[in-house]
């Protein structure tokens, strides 16, 4: 080999290594919005005691501990969570700081004819029907932990679960927990994969755990449902790797509200399967654009969900987040053309104050994203600086990532203050 070719190849290796390293780093400084109030980026604890969680984080920093220790975080919400970028912006720096225990919950959103995060894919060649926790033609109160259920219409079950490395280096997994119908007639799904020495544990009702030795980026399951359609219902899967660290489960449904999760039968009981130490609830946007919601009704809906969680998962801490400013779309005809314009959402501050007041009344921590993101008048700045889309409700990928990074910063800063 010529020396010049050797130098060229070495340069390519160095460039690739540098690129991969950069992809694996936190994106805290990659994007910013001028109206963000960093002085407001803190958690208001409202007398909630987070000492147990902070002690667990300290334990994760003990590199001499050989016992596997996992902190499970569930992030529940609406379309802001379903897109995946917000939770990913939180998960990546958490795992960089305290260790990676896996990707967490993944949901068959694409099979349910809706958008799916880019960092995983659940695919099938078969026909399925689906149901959601959101009111409409596809509403069903018997959906699972993810707020969604898919059912094999032909009986054939052929599913592939894959993960991708877009923004971090942690896609590999050696354990998959499949959440499905609790029916005794749920079919046995057999892995068709090269994974070595797969063990199958279905001792827990409504869950089958697959584990193997070496990590992989995909697993293929096959089976046949010979009974009623509902017996073959599948809800989600948790991607794990058996290591100590943090695992963050994203549970998001477009158009979801507090009441949507309240309508799911025994939702808090289903959520308990994740054994969460911290449950982050990020809703309020859809309530704020509703013409029927009142502060009193929203307060009672928050209470119903939180109370059920506290009863079923008493050890879990809860963090409520407030929604950012958004605007209402209007249309009118002018010069024989339909024009779209946006008006202030007068209900958003009522929703924000209701969530904050509930936290105060029930000793639950609150992260006030409304104030942090800039408060009144900030929406147009976010759009102008490409952190929010033109609909004045949803963020861009960069905007969501920034939001997740800021939430991480608030948790990290609270932890640092605690250990000092």
pLDDT recorded at residue 170: 59
Say how many residues make up the chain. 420
In sequence order, the 6+-apart residues with CB closer than 8 A to the CB of 337 are: none
Q: Which residues of the chain have pLDDT under 50?
A: 1-29
How remote is the C-alpha of 363 from its chain's centroid? 24
Report how far residue 121's alpha carbon sits from residue 352's, in angstroms, rounded to the nearest whole number.
34
Q: What angle do CA 265, 205, 115 make, to 5 degrees?
A: 55
* Domain residue ranges in the chain: 29-101+245-326+338-420, 106-242
Q: Tell me the pLDDT tens digit for each residue of 105-157.
A: 999 999 999 999 999 999 999 999 999 999 888 999 999 999 999 999 998 99
Report how far residue 328's alpha carbon sits from residue 334's, in angstroms, rounded to the nearest whole number.
19
CATH code of the domain made up of 29-101+245-326+338-420: 3.40.50.1110
Torsion, Cα 203 206 211 215, to 10 degrees, reads -170
Report how far residue 155's alpha carbon sits from residue 72's, in angstroms, rounded to the nearest whole number.
34
pLDDT recorded at residue 6: 33
Handedness of CA 376, 381, 387, 389 (dihedral sign): positive
Report how far residue 319's alpha carbon sits from residue 341's, in angstroms, rounded to the nearest whole number.
34
Q: Work out the number of other CB atoms within 10 angstroms of the CB of residue 138.
A: 17
**Of the candidates 49, 57, 51, the residue with the CA atom closest to the CA atom of residue 73:** 57
Report how far residue 153's alpha carbon sits from residue 121's, in angstroms, rounded to the nearest whole number.
21
Q: Tell me the pLDDT tens digit for each residue of 54-111.
A: 999 999 998 887 889 999 999 999 999 999 999 999 999 999 999 999 999 999 999 9
pLDDT recorded at residue 23: 38
Q: Matching CATH topology for 29-101+245-326+338-420 and 106-242?
A: no
**Of the candidates 96, 147, 362, 170, the residue with the CA atom closest to the CA atom of residue 265:** 147
**Of the candidates 269, 210, 270, the residue with the CA atom closest to the CA atom of residue 240:** 210
pLDDT recorded at residue 22: 39
Structure tokens of 178? 């499949």
Report how far residue 104's alpha carbon sits from residue 83's, in angstroms, rounded to the nearest whole number.
15
Asked if 57 and 72 count as a contact pair (C-beta separation under 8 A), the reply is no
Report how far residue 403's alpha carbon sits from residue 28's, in angstroms, rounded to the nearest whole number.
10
Structure tokens of 369? 């994203």
Q: In terms of DSSP bridges, do strands 70-77 and 245-252 run parallel, antiparallel, or are they unpaired?
A: parallel
Handedness of CA 400, 369, 82, 90 (dihedral sign): positive
Its CATH class, for the domain covering 106-242, is mainly beta
pLDDT recorded at residue 193: 66
Report how far residue 195's alpha carbon sits from residue 215's, in angstroms, rounded to the nearest whole number.
8
């Amino acid at each position: 080999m010529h020396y010049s070719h050797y130098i060229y190849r070495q340069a390519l290796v160095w460039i690739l290594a540098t690129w991969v390293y950069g992809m694996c780093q936190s994106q805290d400084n990659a994007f910013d919005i001028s109206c963000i109030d960093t002085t407001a980026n803190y958690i208001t604890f409202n007398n909630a005691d987070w000492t147990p969680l902070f002690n667990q984080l300290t334990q994760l920093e003990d590199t001499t501990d050989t016992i596997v220790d996992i902190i499970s975080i569930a992030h529940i919400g609406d379309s802001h969570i379903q897109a995946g970028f917000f939770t990913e912006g939180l998960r990546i720096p958490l795992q960089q700081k305290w260790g990676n225990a896996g990707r967490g919950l993944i949901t068959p959103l694409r099979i349910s004819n809706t958008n799916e995060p880019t960092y995983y894919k659940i695919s099938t060649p078969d026909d399925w029907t689906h149901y959601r926790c959101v009111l409409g033609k596809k509403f069903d109160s018997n959906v699972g932990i993810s707020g969604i259920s898919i059912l094999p219409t032909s009986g054939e079950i052929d599913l592939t679960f894959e993960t991708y490395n877009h923004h971090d280096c942690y896609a590999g997994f050696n354990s998959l927990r499949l959440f499905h119908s609790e029916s005794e007639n749920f079919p046995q799904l057999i892995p068709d994969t090269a994974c070595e020495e797969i063990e199958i544990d279905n001792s827990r009702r409504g869950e089958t755990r697959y584990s193997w030795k070496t990590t992989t980026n995909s697993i293929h399951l096959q089976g046949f449902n010979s009974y009623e359609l509902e017996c073959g219902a599948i809800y989600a899967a948790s991607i794990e790797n058996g290591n100590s660290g943090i695992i963050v489960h994203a549970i998001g449904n477009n158009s979801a509200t507090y009441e949507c999760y309240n309508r799911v039968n025994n939702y808090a009981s289903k959520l308990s399967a994740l054994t969460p130490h911290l449950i982050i609830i990020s809703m309020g946007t859809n309530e704020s654009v509703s013409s029927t919601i009142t502060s009193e009704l929203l307060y009672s809906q928050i209470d119903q969900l939180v109370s059920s969680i506290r009863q079923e998962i008493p050890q879990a801490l809860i963090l409520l987040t407030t929604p950012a400013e958004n605007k209402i779309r209007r249309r009118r005809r002018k010069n024989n053309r339909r024009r779209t314009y946006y008006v202030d959402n007068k209900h958003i501050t009522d929703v924000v104050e209701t969530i904050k007041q509930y936290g105060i009344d029930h000793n639950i921590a609150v992260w006030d994203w409304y104030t942090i993101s800039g408060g009144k008048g900030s929406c147009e700045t976010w759009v102008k600086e490409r952190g929010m889309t033109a609909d004045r409700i949803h963020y861009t990928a960069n905007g969501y990532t920034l939001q997740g990074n800021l939430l991480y910063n608030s948790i990290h800063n609270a932890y640092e203050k605690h250990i000092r």
